[in-house]
Chains A and B, each alone.
Chain A
Amino acid sequence: MNAAPAIMDFPDRLSPMVVKELRQGLRTRLFGGVLLTLHMMLVLLTLMSGGAENAAVVSGWFDGIATLVLCIIMPLRGFSAVADELKSGTLDMLALTRLSAGRIIFGKWAAIASQSLLLMLSIMPYVVARFVFGGLDLFGEITALFYKWLIGVVIAAVIVALSTQRQFWLRAVVVFLPLMMGGCGAASFIMVSRMGGGMPPGTVFTVFTKSGGGSSTLLMGVGMAAWAIFFFLSLAATRIAPAASLLSVIKRSVNLVMLLSLLLLGWLTGSGADMSMMAAGVLSLLMMDALTERVNDVPSVYAAFYQRGWPGRVALWLLAPGWVTGLVYTALLVALVTVYVGWTRSVEEAKLVAVRAAGTWMIAALVQLFSTRKSRDLLPPFIIFWLFVNVVVATLGSLLLMPLAMRSNSAWFTCALPQLLPAGYAMAQPGDKAAFLDLGMLTACIWPAVLLIAAVFAWRHARGARQEGWRMIHGDQGGAAL
């Protein structure tokens, strides 16, 4: 028997998925190329930063390069992370190990975050060198670098979540559209600043404040980033988890706690107005997630709720996997945020939050009405409808709203589309605003109603699974009313 060489490069404590991804990732030409190029450029910039007269320009380029590497290049490594496994059939083999869907996804992300951290740490000596040569704000620079890494790993979580979609074009549109728009914005900014002549070209990349903000801002930023990472990774894990998985229970519970914490924090710190806007933004993401889960028809999933008595039966309506319970869950979240916004800001703004939520329900309703029965994952049609509706909104907005606004008329037609209504409301004549909002609210109610009807049918369709789940716990006693 020949002995295979022992393999002890990573300790047992590390997640197997992280070990795998690091072994692969650190060997790629991309990582090696980025590492070498980055250091060559940073050496040059550090040598150039000797003179005080060009310190600002060098600082701008330094920021730009670090931003490009940490916020764009490294996160983009997750672009095909899960899609490649799906295509090559290796995800099936991973699913048969003890690795849960959550650990698989986390491993993919953690490897990117670790490599990104490695690059960030390798930049540190150059920061210190520039501090020695040029007297820059060391703490501010390090904090800014940390923020870049933090934003980069959040973007990596978004991209890893997107990589669960097999369709390359869909991933490309969702990832590269904002990048292109950001690139165009940056290019315009450079041109304007050059024409003005007062701004060094590198400054355009200085996207983070050098001061780093206070410790509460840092804590808040880290907290929000941690939740965003959890949200996108759990969204991805749901897409690859087996049907019998109860991942939605953990996911929705954490998200509910997160939303309540935001609202509570706003109330405790007296910044309710700011928090309510943040909560409204978070709400739309939570709605997208909950409303794109397939209705579950695995009896053991329902049995897990039924075995916990009446609290379990109540929890089933909110936390069981599937978009039907997702509708109930999102209704609860919308009610919470609407009431809070009404309390901390104004009734009008609360109504606008409700209308925006109706816009998300509208997309979910369109998905239910028009997507094929074969589509196992509702997220791609949701994204497609979302993109389509927003293109329509942008087109209608530019073609119809502007002329009406110039003639000082209220654009009543915007009441028909929840996505258009906030813009229409903003341009409405002061005397029309109240009636405008009431009409908008009324028409927006159509969409949750449509979704509710679809939900009743879908819930009936899963009745057999619920009854089987009930029988697994309680035998043949009861369960007919499920």
Chain B
Amino acid sequence: MSSSVSNSAPAHEMDRSQPAVVVEDLHRTFGALKAVDGVSFSIDHGRVVGFVGANGAGKTTTMRIMATLDSPGSGKVSMGGHNVVHHPAKVRRLLGWMPDSFGTYEHMTVLEYLDFYARALGFKGADRLRRIQEVMDFTDLTPLADRMSNKMSKGQTQRLCLGRALLHDPQILILDEPAAGLDPKARVELKNLIRILAQEGKTILISSHILSELGEMCDSLLFIDKGRIVHHGDAESMVRGTETAGETLVNVQIAGEPAKLIEWALTAPLIKIVEETKRGARLRIQAVDEDTLAGVLRRMIQDGLPVLDYHREERRLEDAFIDMLGQIDKNTFKAQPPEIRPQKNAEAAN
């Protein structure tokens, strides 16, 4: 696998005095459904931003508009200083897009697939062959060059799609659920590729349901709910922002059926179940002092639960996200609005 992919592709026109991405008061409705309802944010050059939200929250619609594949109902979206509606062709030259679901072609090898897209992106002759080789090396697809593109594993297909998106060396990458359905090995490989791309200075917006991975890869996270951005910040601020004072997260494992523990926790005071695990559960205890936490363990044993393990746990990004959704429903969430760097006057001409 190569360590770089930005070699021979032509440079594209990009106004570096503007933020790489600016979304201002974006709205999009489908019939009565408000898919995107006033989304605003900006992303500086070279940043990796995670886009997080439940299914149907408006992530894919926002990303499709940014990728010039859908039109905004109202609001403005600029990529590299170019308005996506007025100058879609300029935006497309700057942009690499990896959709959440896509097909490959029947009767076409991996090499032919990349060759077709390289031709379609304007590469000719030796330049085209060189560029295909660079991308295949980067995505480790060279050994699969003669494999039919529709006969590959999900992970290989994702690498092929990433390779296709990188052919013209785009400065901005929009990756919609790139890790969905991948096995752990393929996920690690994909994460490594994205890390290299980030090191090359590409601006990346990536949506995923695997929040722990997003936390590791991204400089900041954008949380969207019901078509609105509800939080924009780094993973740590997200975890801290949704923390409820006076609570401790505890992971408990017992011998035998975890149902016993769940049954017990449902009736116990000060305890809420966060999630059931294979051999027990993660519990939220409304206390922080060690005496109370030890008292909970003592009661478990007294009540006949065969406790194997009982330890405190750090809150994860997933916990923070679920807490945030709960707090939004109860109107107790303190939203951290995204910082928007407005476009300079040059955009008016665009």
Contact = CB atoms under 8 A, between A and B. Distances in A.
Interface stretch (A18-26, A133-141, A171-179): A18-26
B129 to A, nearest CB: 6
A23 B112 contact: yes
A93 B125 contact: no
B297 interface: no
Nearest to B83: A300
Contact of B85 (A5, A93, A96, A300): A300
A299 B143 CA distance: 48
Nearest to B142: A2
Contacts of A23: 107-108, 112, 116
Nearest to A245: B88
Contact of A98 (B102, B106, B122): B122
A242 B68 contact: yes
Contacts of A93: 97, 99, 102, 117, 164
B86 interface: yes
Contact of B125 (A4, A5, A12, A20): A12
B97 A96 contact: yes
B133 interface: yes
* Most chain B CB inside 10 Å of its own CB: which residue of A16, A27, A88, A374: A16
Interface string B94-130: 0101010111111110011001110111101100110
Contacts of A303: 86
B231 interface: no
B133 A90 contact: no
Contact of B120 (A4, A99, A299): A99
B137 interface: yes
Contact of B107 (A28, A88, A472): A28
Interface in A1-48: 1-7, 12, 16-17, 19-20, 23-25, 27-28
A1 B137 contact: yes
B71 A243 contact: yes
Contacts of A97: 92, 117, 120-121
A7 B117 CA distance: 13
Interface size class, chain A: 35 or more
Contact of A7 (B30, B104, B111): B111
A89 B69 CA distance: 11
A407 interface: no
A4 B133 contact: yes
Given A1-B2, A24-B106, A27-B107, A7 B112 contact: yes
B200 interface: no
A374 B29 CA distance: 10
B88 A244 contact: yes
B67 interface: yes
B132 interface: yes
Given A89-B101, A298-B71, A98 B121 contact: yes
A92 interface: yes
B211 interface: no
Contacts of B115: 7
B309 interface: no
A242 B129 CA distance: 30
Contacts of B107: 23-25, 27-28
A374 B102 contact: no
Contacts of A99: 120
A244 B85 contact: yes
B281 interface: no
26 contacts: A2-B137, A5-B111, A16-B120, A20-B108, A23-B108, A24-B105, A24-B107, A88-B102, A89-B102, A89-B103, A90-B102, A90-B104, A93-B97, A93-B164, A95-B69, A96-B69, A96-B95, A96-B97, A97-B117, A98-B120, A98-B121, A244-B85, A300-B85, A300-B87, A303-B86, A374-B31
Q: 8 closest pairs, A vs B, by CB? A: A88-B103, A16-B119, A97-B120, A27-B107, A300-B86, A16-B120, A4-B145, A2-B142
Given A16-B120, A20-B108, A242-B88, 8 more contacts: A2-B142, A12-B124, A16-B116, A28-B107, A95-B68, A96-B69, A98-B120, A300-B87
